[in-house]
Amino acid sequence: MRNLHKIGAAALSVALLAGVAACGDDKGGSGSGGKVKLVVATFGEFGYKDLYAEYMKAHPDIEITERVTKAEDHHKNLAAHLATGQGAADIEAIEEGWIGQFKATPDKFVNLTDLGANDLKAQWPDWKWQTSVGKNGAQIGFGTDVGGLAMCYRTDLFAKAGLPTDREQVSALWKDWDGYITAGKKYAAAKLPNSAFMDGPTVMYRSVLGQFDQGLYDNQDNVIVETNPSVRAAFDKTVEAINAGLSAKIAAWSADWNAGFQKGRFATIACPSWMMAYIQEQAKDAAGKWDIAKIPGGGGNWGGSFLTLPKQGKHQKEAYELAKWLTSPEQQAKVFRKAGNFPSTVTLYQDPVITDFKNPFFNNAPVGKIFSESITTMKAQYLGPKAGDINTAIQNGLTRVEQGKQTPDAAWKQALEEIKKIV
C-alpha cells in the first residue's frame, strides 16, 4: 500500500464484527462464541474493511480485528514484538521500504511456501515475489499493491495560472523533470496567493529516485549512496526545484500537508497509486478539481506492501488462508476500484476491470490505464535493510536546504555522515 503507509493517522484499533465487542486478547486468541480471532495489523489505508466483512460472512468461524497504526510506529512495534517474541498480530503488513529489514530475519516469520505459496507464485511479477524472499530462500510475504507513478494536479489552479488543464496537454508539459520544473516556473510567475507548484522536497525526491534502476543499495546489500550517481541526481534535481521557488515548504505527512490537499496550497504532487486514496481522504470537498497526468520521465515505482505471518501467531493456517484471499487478484481489483491501491497481481494489468476503470474524484481520469502503463514500463529497484532510515537522512538534508540552513553540498555531506552511522 499502498503506501499510504505514511498516513499520519493516530493509532487505532477497529473491531470489525458489527455489534459485537472484540473479545479475547489482541494476539490472535479465541474470539466471541469460540470463533478463531485473527488480528491484522496495518498502517494507512489498505481498503480491507469491506473485505473483512465479506470474508467473515463466508467463514462464520473467523472473527477479524484490524489494528491500524502510523507507518513508522507500526514497523517499530513489529520489530519490538519480534524481538520479544510476543505482541505481533496474526497478519502483519510490511511496507516496501521496511521489507529489507524484516526479511533479514526470516526465522521470525512463517515461510509461506511451507503452506503452499509456490502454487500462487505466478500471481505476482517475479520482482515483487523476490522482494519478500529472505536470504535463506523463505518467502515471508504476499504482495498487496505496487506504487506505480503518475502526477496528480489541481485543474482549477492550473487554469488560474494560465497552464493547460487537459491531462494529455499537461503530460506533454513534462516529458522529464526539467520540463516539470519549467512548468513550475510558469506557475510560480502567476503568483497565486498561498499556493506553490509542489508540496515540498520529500515526494519529488522519492519519485525521481524511484525511477532509476538502482537506488540506495546494490543487490548484495551494500549501501551505494555515495558512489551511485543516481542518488545524488535525485537529490540535486529536487534542490533545483527548491531553488526555483516551486516548493510550498510543507513537510510530507504533516498536518499542514494534509490540509494543503484541500486548500490548494500546492498544485502538483507526484502520485504513486496509493496517493489517490490519501488525496480523496484529505480533500473530500475537492472532488473534480484534481486530475492525473503522466509522471515526468516515464514510469517508476514508490511503495507497495506485503502481508506477512509472524511465527509467534497462534493460528497460522487460518491467517495464511486470510492473507491469501486478501491478496488474490479478485480482492486486489476491488481494493483498487474503491481505494486506489494498485494491484501487484500481474494478471490484472490487461484486465478491463482495471484498465477500463476511471476515477470520478479525479475528473474521471483513466487511472487503470495510467497506472498499468507506469507499472509495465518500470524496473524494480532493490531495497536493502536500512532503506527507510537512509532516505530519511537524505530527505532531512533536503529540508535543511529548503529552510536555508545549509548549502546543498553541506546538506549532502551531513546526510552521508548520518548514513554511515545508520548502517
- For residue 340, what pLDDT is reported? 83
Which residues are CB-contacts of 60 (< 8 A; sequence separation ≥ 6)? 35
Q: How far apart are CA 253 and CA 258, in angstroms?
A: 7
- Contact, 247 vs 237, CB < 8 A? no
Q: Which three cell numbers stand for residue 11?
A: 493509532
**Using one digit for the tens of pLDDT, what is the confidence trace for 214-263?**
999 998 889 999 999 999 999 999 999 999 999 999 999 899 999 999 99
Cα 204 to Cα 295: distance, rounded to the nearest angstrom: 11
- Residue 375, pLDDT score: 79
Provide CB contacts within 8 A for 167, sequence distance 6+.
Answer: 291, 292, 293, 363, 365
Side chain identity at residue 341, one-letter code: N
Burial letters for 86-104: b for 16+ Cβ neighbours within 10 Å, e otherwise?
ebbbbbbbbbbbbbbbbbe
Q: What is the mean pLDDT of each run of 10 residues along the chain (423 residues)?
A: 41 36 41 85 90 98 95 92 97 92 95 98 92 94 92 97 98 97 98 97 95 91 96 98 98 92 95 88 92 90 92 97 98 91 89 92 93 78 86 96 97 98 91
Inter-residue contact 56 to 63 (CB < 8 Å): yes
Joined together, the cell numbers standing for residue 339 give 481505494
pLDDT attached to residue 29: 53
- pLDDT at residue 60, rounded to an integer: 97
Backbone torsions φ then ψ of 66, nearest 5 degrees: -105, 135
SS3 70: coil
Task: Give Dmax over CA atoms of the chain in angstroms.
Answer: 66
Residue 307, φ and ψ in degrees, nearest 5: -105, 125
Determine the pLDDT at residue 385: 86
Say if pTM beats, i.e. exceeds, 0.85.
no
- Contact between 17 and 63 under an 8 Å Cβ cutoff? The reply is yes
pLDDT of res. 28: 45
How far apart CA 394 and CA 387 sit, in angstroms, is: 11
The residue behind cell 492473507 is: 323
Nearest to 341 by CA among 47, 5, 125: 47
Which residues does 85 contact at the CB level (< 8 Å), separation at least 6? 312
The continuous run of DSSP H or E covering 66 comes out as strand 62-68
Q: What's the confidence (pLDDT) of residue 287?
A: 92
CA dihedral defined by 39, 42, 46, 52, rounded to 10 degrees?
Answer: 0
CA 272 to the chain's CA centroid: 7
298 sits in which H/E element: none
C-alpha grid cell, residue 273: 497509486
Residues ≥6 apart with Cβ < 8 Å to 233: 208, 212
Query: For residues 71 and 44, is the Cβ–Cβ distance under 8 A?
Result: yes
Residue-wise DSSP of 239-285: HHHHHTT-B----TTSHHHHHHHHHTSEEEEEEEHHHHHHHHHH-GG
Q: How far apart are CA 185 and CA 162, in angstroms?
A: 12
| Total number of residues shown for the chain | 423
Q: What is the pLDDT of residues 281-323, one digit of tens each?
A: 899 899 999 999 999 988 788 888 999 999 999 999 999 999 9
The answer to whether residues 232 and 282 touch, using CB atoms and an 8 Å cutoff, is no
Q: What was the pLDDT predicted at 15?
A: 37
Please give the grid coordinates belonging to residue 134: 529472505
What the block records as the C-alpha cell of 149 is 507513478
- What is d(CA 365, CA 368) in angstroms, rounded to the nearest whole number? 9
Per-residue pLDDT, 32: 60
pLDDT value of residue 14: 38
What pLDDT score does 245 carry? 97
Q: What are the DSSP calls for 148-176, one per residue?
A: BEEEEEEHHHHHHTT---SHHHHHHH-SS
Alpha-carbon distance of 90 to 265, in angstroms, equals 40
